[in-house]
Amino acid sequence: MNITDQKLQKNSEVYTIVEANDDTASFNQLGSVSSSKISDLDKNSINNEFNQTEEVHLRKSFSLWSILGVGFGLTNSWFGISASMVTGIESGGPMMIVYGIIIISLISICVGVSLGELSSAYPHAGGQFFWSLKLAPPKHRRFAAYMCGSYAYAGSVFTSASTTLSVATELVGMYALCHESFVPRRWHVFVCFELLHLFLLLFNCYGKSLPFISSSSLYISLLSFFTITITVLACAHGKYNDAKFVFATFYNETGWKNGGIAFIVGLINPAWSFSCLDCATHMAFEVEKPERVIPMAIMGTIAIGFITSFCYVIAMFFSLNDLNALFNSHTGAPILDIYNQALHNKAGAIVLGCLVLFTSFGCVIACHTWQARLCWSFATDQGLPYSKWWAEVNPTLGVPLNAHLMSCGWIAIIGLLYLASSTAFNSLITGCIAFLLLSYIIPVICLLQKKRQIKHGPFWLGKFGLFSNIVLLCWTLFSIVFFSFPPNLPVNRNNMNYVCVVIVGFTCYQLIYWKWKGAKEFHSAQDDDDNIEYENNSNINMDTYMARTSNISDSHSQYYMMDQDGVSLHSDTSENGTQLINHKSIAKVDVRET
């Protein structure tokens, strides 16, 4: 059988490639004709096919800098320190934040190495839930992937809610700084939050501008960082605080008698500022050579985050004159009070606050892009109720519009929590950290269960990778326990940290839905045969492919594993409607339907 002569058709219904790269090729039905032939699946022929076909899948338009922009644009550590300073400044003062950044940066390196190794071995938009599917024991792989994907999606929603809320808080704080008689209320922040959220939904629908925005957000963030840091230091010249105040004085305003507990609870500030490191992994289908680019983006995000955040807080705290003003901030945004103290000019403080806002818009835009892509990827594997609808890509906009709508709906609902609790912001931050860490450890546990014996990618650090995996597991357990503590004592229903209830409640929902529908419906395109590794398997001395056609009218479709001579090696059946070809190297492929 000559593979070059095979027709890509099913009962005269022809399918052609609408997008392809070194890792995936997507199919779309064109119509009914007598024959169609693809003689060579190299990039040029694929691009020719693509140019003649309506685009219905995600555009591969992200470069390394775009991916780094998405990654750092979301993590954006120095902005995170500014936005969440209200959650940590009472738990040790400047000293806690300075040393907290160092501690969390070291831990983040281990988290980044763990994610980078997996993304290099298995680049996929599903990220950690796809890795769980690949690495878990055959009997439990679907359940592991489902739990991991659910945690990851919950984490992305809480991240979007917390970042948007932080921006809304700063907007209200800037108004309060200019109007001393104005007393900020929670409902003011809530209204601002919902309006900002609506704007972000509309903005993210225009996918063509996302790579540009992503790259620009990185430069805007760095430009804002340098401008603010230099301005604050210059204006505070001659009035700097001493080194003892910054590095060796511990202030505990939490009510916790144990200073160690207060310090640990305050670590939520730098921990949130280095969260969401998996963001870049979910853009794997939209970048060239993701097995190299994604790990570079993750580690680059950590490096830039540490340098900027550490230098930033050093400059801010040396320029701080009155720490008590931060503890009793009228604006609700302590960073604005620092600007005001350093510049002795409200207008100047507002200008610097606007630079933070410009940076924050890149952050929240990247955040909404990330959570929508994750929702879309999870829905393509039937991980959500009514997944078929959420998995659709809008053919006009070229973005997963339905996934955006659902995710933004949940974020709007979560925003209601801010009206009910004075510490809701802490709970949202903790939810972001806890859910994402839970999603990270599932594939890492599976990797350790395999004794790290996998066909790895170009980013692989051996023993340090093993050490990083262990640190990630320990840090996850540690942070979930201690970040669930209430931020202040005495505890009442208004300042209680309810994140533990949210985590337990969501986990119960996951288990119930799995028993009800998930076990029957959840299925991934990569749910491989137990005895065959399709990608990067050196034991298969041939180019192999698993082909899945899209938009099939039948409820079941048959998938074939083909070798170079067109011989069927393996078949699998699925009801999933979103289809991909996955291959080790692009050559020729035959797709047949039964």
Per-residue confidence (pLDDT) for residue 61, from 0 to 100? 52
Q: Are residues 145 and 264 in the same domain?
A: yes
pLDDT digits (tens, 9 = 90+) for 435-457: 999 999 999 999 999 999 888 89
Q: Are residues 129 and 25 in the same domain?
A: no
- Looking at the predicted structure, is the pLDDT value of residue 351 above 90? yes
pLDDT digits (tens, 9 = 90+) for 41-71: 333 433 433 333 333 344 555 677 778 877 7
DSSP per position, 513-578 = HIIIIIHHH---TT---TT---SS-TT--S--EE---SS-SSS-EEEEEE-TT--EEEEEEE----
Contact, 212 vs 366, CB < 8 A?
A: no
Tell me the three state secondary structure of residue 348: helix
Q: Please give the single-letter amino acid code of residue 81.
A: I
Q: Look up residue 485 and give its DSSP letter.
A: S
pLDDT digits (tens, 9 = 90+) for 473-519: 999 999 999 999 988 888 887 778 888 889 999 999 999 999 988 88
Does 591 map to a domain?
no
Closest CA to 393 of 211, 125, 69, 133: 125
pLDDT digits (tens, 9 = 90+) for 169-188: 999 999 999 988 898 888 99
Does 466 map to a domain?
yes
Per-residue confidence (pLDDT) for residue 173, from 0 to 100? 93
Does 556 map to a domain?
yes
Query: What average pLDDT does the segment 314-334 reach?
Result: 88
Please state, rounded to an integer, the average pLDDT across all residues of the chain.
Answer: 77
Domain containing residue 319:
64-484+492-521
Query: What average pLDDT does the segment 353-373 reach?
Result: 85
pTM given for the model: 0.77
Q: Are residues 190 and 232 in the same domain?
A: yes
Q: Are residues 135 and 182 in the same domain?
A: yes
490: preceding bond cis by omega (within 30 degrees): yes
Alpha-carbon gap, residue 207 to 213, rounded angstroms: 10
The torsion angles phi and psi of 399, rounded to 5 degrees, stand at -130, 160
Does 297 map to a domain?
yes
Q: Which of 381-385, 424-428, 536-540 has the lowest mean pLDDT?
A: 536-540
Provide the strand spans (E) within 403-513: none
- Looking at the predicted structure, is the pLDDT value of residue 471 above 80? yes
Q: Are residues 393 and 292 in the same domain?
A: yes
**Residue 24: which pLDDT band, with cuts at 50, 70 and 90?**
very low
Does 208 map to a domain?
yes
Per-residue confidence (pLDDT) for residue 338, from 0 to 100? 93
Which of 468, 502, 521 is the endpoint of a domain? 521
Residues forming beta bridges with residue 14, ordered by sequence position: 9, 31
Q: Are residues 69 and 19 in the same domain?
A: no
pLDDT digits (tens, 9 = 90+) for 511-567: 999 998 888 888 755 554 333 333 333 333 223 223 332 222 233 333 333 333 333
Per-residue confidence (pLDDT) for residue 273, from 0 to 100? 93
Q: Are residues 83 and 179 in the same domain?
A: yes
Which of 502, 521, 540 is the endpoint of a domain? 521
Query: What average pLDDT does the segment 333-352 reach?
Result: 92
**Residue 302: which pLDDT band, with cuts at 50, 70 and 90?**
very high
How many C-alpha atoms does 269 have within 13 Å on its Cβ side?
Answer: 34
Per-residue confidence (pLDDT) for residue 209, from 0 to 100? 62
Q: Are residues 508 and 558 in the same domain?
A: no
Does 158 map to a domain?
yes
For residues 157 and 365, which has the higher predicted lDDT (pLDDT)?
Answer: 157
Q: Are residues 563 and 420 in the same domain?
A: no
Q: Are residues 180 and 226 in the same domain?
A: yes
Q: What percent of the chain has pLDDT over 70?
A: 76
- Looking at the predicted structure, is the pLDDT value of residue 571 above 80? no
Per-residue confidence (pLDDT) for residue 508, from 0 to 100? 95
**Residue 135: which pLDDT band, with cuts at 50, 70 and 90?**
very high
Query: What average pLDDT does the segment 324-337 reach?
Result: 86
- Looking at the predicted structure, is the pLDDT value of residue 312 above 90? yes
Q: Are residues 114 and 190 in the same domain?
A: yes
Per-residue confidence (pLDDT) for residue 495, from 0 to 100? 79
Q: Are residues 42 and 127 in the same domain?
A: no
Determine how many CB atoms are found less than 10 A away from the CB of residue 70: 33
